[in-house]
Chain A
């Protein structure tokens, strides 16, 4: 068993009345890939932002602990977090056009990122930047360093962002839907690079996405979020083959490739509740076929071997 790099205990991040994240717990071991899956508004991105300390007001972490490498960073000062961010942990965002500065050349941005954490000369920093670009599969990195972000294609831009995240060989990377905006062939290229780099450096990775198929190929463990809580987690192959929570099962069943061609897709009725007005019990109960009176009470975290879930009526092991 590998050492735990990150442990999140009962994390609560609220935006006033809206409980975006409400009692999330999980841990990531060194070199492990965790797929954090959920639909829009489920709190998966806010979980990522909370860990790296970038929650913007009015959002605040109102409870819980984030333990990184044995240290509680929940109440670290801004300076302490800044020292960690970029060096020990990094985040990759969905839209690379928003994360790169459009008026600065790539080399300026990358050299700045190196020198922010290490006292090295401009020449050395530039060499580091060049190597990082080469590592993520950007051809002729020396020339490309001189380019501006708009001169790159979407896929190449995302590679630049990944290269910046890898500059200091962090222990831990959070990737928030980094391939969602890309084409299938480009997505496959980026995923292949990520898979290779993470394995080489023994980096832990949290991959935030709504795409179960990407998680199934990339991750070791999966955590499914619904309305601010993790409703189910466990090894990817187990969870996808035998989901315990009806929401996970509903998500898997609504993927077109899991249905007979041309027939009606199995769908989850209704829509996700507003996180400002969550029911006291299971938030999924109003959409769930298995729900009854018990579901109106708070559901504790239940464990079954390596798997955890929050459902009082879990699905039987074998589904038709």
Chain B
């Protein structure tokens, strides 16, 4: 009955085909859980009911997501929602428990080893903490130059190559013989960027890459990301909890809650017409500099433990619109407008 959220059968297919381009990376029903596999003794103990099976954390639960060439996809969620695990799966650091990752339309697992290695090299990751992600005992030049040297990507002098990488990330090559502790936080993040770009990737996974930086340095690094995107035609998966940053840099945004994607839409659309109650709550609580001296109206409760997620829709214990159906049945991600998908039973009720 709500005219602003038309549910049409044809928009579901148009969202994937609208760009007319195959996605660079596609996740197909990815699930990932953490925990130890029981050994023989443990399995016996469990089968004789002498022990309980060890708890497994379901970090990701059936996520399908496509990133098209040249776009910036923002991935937003609170801590513990699985966004970093998803980023690591995309970057090839973790392999998913279930589901498949496709690179340029081909299943990674089905690729011959040499092609798979090549594909993995095309996806690089930039980490949150520039203090922990650089080896403190290696010089900046070695950190940046090692991977391209090992993979045989350098023709000619390694020193000149490293200088180029430094300049591209906005660093003075004269500093390349310093150790990480001799750089400031912003400079360290630039070393991390230079290291990732040195192997000529097409796809960057940025996991909270500006979260640890001061506001003025954050602006410098975000500008660098945008410049590099244009110059090198990069595609990004930009993982962040900061909606302001995501709104600024992303073309499309996916919102994650407890291992599932709950909403996915073009950035402008999601900030103007958020459909899922969780997205709406998140947007309402982002402190903005424009709102002075206003009360905070918080959503109740906290992110539930992924060890024992709530039944049905994971958000229902905190949702102001929860219905009996939400407790029993997990909503599917369905199109609510062109390119806009949301996983909420309310949309069925409205249709």
CB proximity of A231 to chain B, nearest CB, Å: 13
Known: A184-B241, A254-B215. A240 touches B247 (CB 8 A): no
CB proximity of B214 to chain A, nearest CB, Å: 4
Beta-carbon contact of A237 and B244 below 8 Å: no
Beta-carbon contact of A264 and B299 below 8 Å: no
Q: Which residues of B are found within 8 Å of A155, using beta-carbon distances?
A: 302
CA separation between A212 and B222, bound complex, in Å?
A: 18
Known: A185-B78, A254-B216, A261-B247. A217 touches B292 (CB 8 A): yes
Number of chain A residues whose Cβ lies closer than 8 Å to a Cβ of chain B:
47
CB proximity of A257 to chain B, nearest CB, Å: 5
A251 within 8 A of B: yes
CA separation between A236 and B268, bound complex, in Å?
A: 29
A211 within 8 A of B: yes
CB proximity of A265 to chain B, nearest CB, Å: 4
B67 within 8 A of A: no
Task: Please tell me which one of the listed residues B184, B267, B290 contacts residue A257 in the complex, with CB atoms under 8 A apart.
Answer: B290
Beta-carbon contact of A236 and B293 below 8 Å: yes
Q: Which residues of B are found within 8 Å of A255, using beta-carbon distances?
A: 215, 244, 289
CA separation between A271 and B289, bound complex, in Å?
A: 23
Number of chain B residues whose Cβ lies closer than 8 Å to a Cβ of chain A:
44
Known: A39-B215, A265-B248, A271-B184. A258 touches B289 (CB 8 A): yes
Beta-carbon contact of B287 and A217 below 8 Å: yes
Beta-carbon contact of B285 and A217 below 8 Å: no
Q: Which residues of B are found within 8 Å of A264, using beta-carbon distances?
A: 223, 226-227
Beta-carbon contact of A191 and B78 below 8 Å: no
Q: Which single residue of chain B is at the shortest CB-CB distance from A219?
A: B293
Q: Which single residue of chain B is at the shortest CB-CB distance from A39?
A: B214
Task: Please tell me which one of the listed residues B245, B247, B287 contacts residue A214 in the complex, with CB atoms under 8 A apart.
Answer: B287
Beta-carbon contact of A256 and B245 below 8 Å: yes
Known: A40-B214, A262-B248, A271-B186. A183 touches B293 (CB 8 A): no
Beta-carbon contact of A266 and B292 below 8 Å: no
Beta-carbon contact of A153 and B302 below 8 Å: yes
Candidate in B78, B292, B302 with the most chain A CB atoms within 10 angstroms: B292
Known: A195-B295, A255-B244. A213 touches B223 (CB 8 A): no
CB proximity of B321 to chain A, nearest CB, Å: 16
B47 within 8 A of A: no
CB proximity of A246 to chain B, nearest CB, Å: 12
Question: Considering the complex, which residues of chain A in the window 246-282 have a beta carbon less than 8 Å from any beta carbon of chain B?
Answer: 250-252, 254-259, 261-262, 264-268, 271-272
CA separation between A177 and B328, bound complex, in Å?
A: 40
Interface of A is mostly: helix
Beta-carbon contact of B285 and A236 below 8 Å: no
CB proximity of B188 to chain A, nearest CB, Å: 12
A109 within 8 A of B: no
Q: Which residues of A are found within 8 Å of B219, using beta-carbon distances?
A: 254, 256, 265-268
Known: A183-B79, A237-B293, A256-B248. A265 touches B223 (CB 8 A): yes
CB proximity of B277 to chain A, nearest CB, Å: 12
Beta-carbon contact of A184 and B297 below 8 Å: no
Beta-carbon contact of A191 and B289 below 8 Å: no
B46 within 8 A of A: no
Known: A265-B248, A267-B216. A192 touches B290 (CB 8 A): no
B220 within 8 A of A: yes
A216 within 8 A of B: yes
Q: Which residues of B are found within 8 Å of A257, using beta-carbon distances?
A: 244, 247-248, 288-290
Beta-carbon contact of B268 and A216 below 8 Å: no
Q: Which residues of B are found within 8 Å of A130, using beta-carbon distances?
A: none
Beta-carbon contact of A213 and B287 below 8 Å: yes
B294 within 8 A of A: yes
CA separation between A40 and B130, bound complex, in Å?
A: 15
Q: Which residues of A are found within 8 Å of B247, using beta-carbon distances?
A: 256-257, 261
B164 within 8 A of A: no
Q: Which residues of B are found within 8 Å of A236, using beta-carbon distances?
A: 292-293
Q: Which residues of B are found within 8 Å of A219, using beta-carbon distances?
A: 293
Question: Considering the complex, which residues of chain B in the window 219-235 have a beta carbon less than 8 Å from any beta carbon of chain A?
Answer: 219-220, 222-223, 226-227
Task: Please tell me which one of the listed residues A189, A195, A210, A240 contacts residue B215 in the complex, with CB atoms under 8 A apart.
Answer: A210
CA separation between A153 and B302, bound complex, in Å?
A: 9
Q: Which residues of A are found within 8 Å of B244, using beta-carbon distances?
A: 213, 255-257
Q: Which single residue of chain B is at the shortest CB-CB distance from A261?
A: B248
Beta-carbon contact of B296 and A195 below 8 Å: yes
A188 within 8 A of B: yes
A220 within 8 A of B: yes
Q: Which residues of A are found within 8 Å of B184, using beta-carbon distances?
A: 271
- B45-64 Cβ-contact flags toward A at 8 Å (1 or 0): 00000000000000000000
A296 within 8 A of B: no
Beta-carbon contact of A216 and B216 below 8 Å: no
Q: Which single residue of chain A is at the shortest CB-CB distance from B77?
A: A183
CA separation between A261 and B214, bound complex, in Å?
A: 20
Identify 28 residue pairs between A and B in the complex whose beta-carbon atoms are under 8 Å apart, listed by A's number.
A39-B214, A183-B79, A185-B299, A186-B78, A187-B285, A188-B296, A188-B298, A192-B295, A192-B298, A210-B215, A212-B289, A217-B287, A217-B291, A217-B292, A217-B293, A217-B294, A236-B292, A250-B216, A251-B216, A256-B244, A256-B247, A256-B249, A261-B248, A264-B223, A264-B227, A265-B219, A265-B223, A271-B186
Taking A256-B222, A261-B247 as given, write out 19 further A-B residue pairs in contact, using a Cβ cutoff of 8 Å, ordered by the A residue number: A40-B185, A154-B79, A183-B79, A184-B286, A185-B302, A188-B285, A191-B296, A191-B298, A195-B295, A216-B293, A218-B293, A236-B293, A250-B216, A251-B215, A254-B218, A256-B245, A256-B249, A257-B244, A268-B216
B interface residues with partner A (beta carbon < 8 Å): 78-79, 184-186, 214-220, 222-223, 226-227, 241, 243-245, 247-249, 267-268, 281-282, 285-299, 302-303
